[in-house]
Copies of this chain bind each other. A is one copy, B any other.
Amino acid sequence: MKHLLSIEDLSAADIHAMLELTDHMAEVSSRPIPKVPALRGKNVVSLFFEDSTRTRTSFDTAAKRLSADTMNFAVSSSSVNKGESLRDTIETITAMGVDAFVVRHKSSGAPQMITKWTNASIVNAGDGWHQHPTQALLDCYTIRTGLNRRDSFDGLRIAIVGDIKHSRVARSDVQAFAKLGAHVTLVAPPTLLPPSLEGWPVEVSHDLDALLPDLDVLYLLRVQRERMDDALLPSLAEYSALYGLTHARAARLAPHALVMHPGPMNRGVEIAVDPADLPGSVILQQVTNGVAVRMAVLFTLLGSGSVSSIGASA
């Protein structure tokens, strides 16, 4: 495995293997000194064309726990702003010595394109509406540990609620959850669904309340306020009334059901309940797992030797 560009490229077995490795990385992360020398001397460069302190910090933390060096290539102050082509930027940074680029870009397919211009590994940290594969992996890991489903997601009922149309998280999660055997239902106003769902292994519903009691996982997406400006949403209040997680809805969830969100949350819109009051909320656990999953991804792409080589703290 040279790059991580899309969940599409992974088989169910690939995903399970990555989640097994994540178990080891979670153990490392729980140590008093959560640091191993596995990627010592490797250089991991963040290349974020869209701001995301949260995701960048998660990758950064993961890289440092493996003793890699990290660099944040600040796009805003770089030669990209002097008219340099993306290709020249990539080739230039590569020539300084880079082992992996972690790329976020507003255009779908940009990370794939970048693989042509460098021999470094590429990790897609979100490209347009297309893919965000490490988010899908951390979501799988969170469900796997939260519901104790190590072998498969067969029979799990997962609803993904919100702005499916513009969401790379939804696209990646649908693929990953389905590959592991889950039954996925999308819940959204028609304006926030893609024009066609042909080939998506999902059902669609507009009635969240009917679904709630049978769900194992309720996955809430972030509603972006600019969707109202685009006239795709009548009002945030109406969205909240129909699709938001209210106290009444939370009460209808099964006791074991997990509530998930990729963050950052719009409190009062897609989630009106304080997650701290929801026994099933694993929203912060997702953040914690995100670091362990990204350690597993970086080790898979850049590490040498088996996982046993990551044993002792650095």
Contacts and interface: CB of A to CB of B under 8 A. Distances in A.
Interface of A: 29, 31-35, 40-41, 43, 51, 53-54, 57-58, 60-61, 64, 69, 71, 73-74, 77-79, 82-85, 88-89, 91-97, 225, 263-267, 284-285, 287-288, 290-291, 313
Contact of A284 (B43, B54, B92, B291): B92
A85 B64 CA distance: 27
Given A60-B71, A64-B69, A97 B291 contact: yes
18 contacts: A33-B40, A34-B41, A35-B40, A35-B41, A41-B313, A43-B61, A51-B78, A53-B74, A53-B79, A61-B71, A83-B225, A83-B264, A84-B265, A88-B265, A92-B263, A92-B284, A96-B288, A96-B290
Most buried by B among A92, A265, A285, A288: A92
A270 to B, nearest CB: 12
A72 B284 CA distance: 20
A106 to B, nearest CB: 15
A43 B32 CA distance: 11
Given A53-B73, A287-B92, A288-B97, A79 B264 contact: yes
A262 to B, nearest CB: 11
Contacts of A266: 83
A164 to B, nearest CB: 20
B264 A95 contact: no
Contacts of A83: 225, 264, 266
Contact of A264 (B35, B82, B94, B284): B82
B57 A263 contact: no
Contacts of A285: 95
Contact of A58 (B64, B74, B96): B96
Contacts of A33: 40-41
Contacts of A288: 95-97
Nearest to A61: B96
A129 to B, nearest CB: 17
B35 A53 contact: no
A74 B267 CA distance: 22
Given A33-B41, A54-B78, 9 more contacts: A41-B313, A53-B73, A64-B69, A83-B266, A85-B267, A92-B263, A96-B287, A96-B291, A97-B291
Contacts of A267: 85, 88
A287 B93 CA distance: 8
Contacts of A41: 31-35, 313
A284 B95 contact: yes
Contacts of A78: 51, 53-54
A69 B34 CA distance: 11
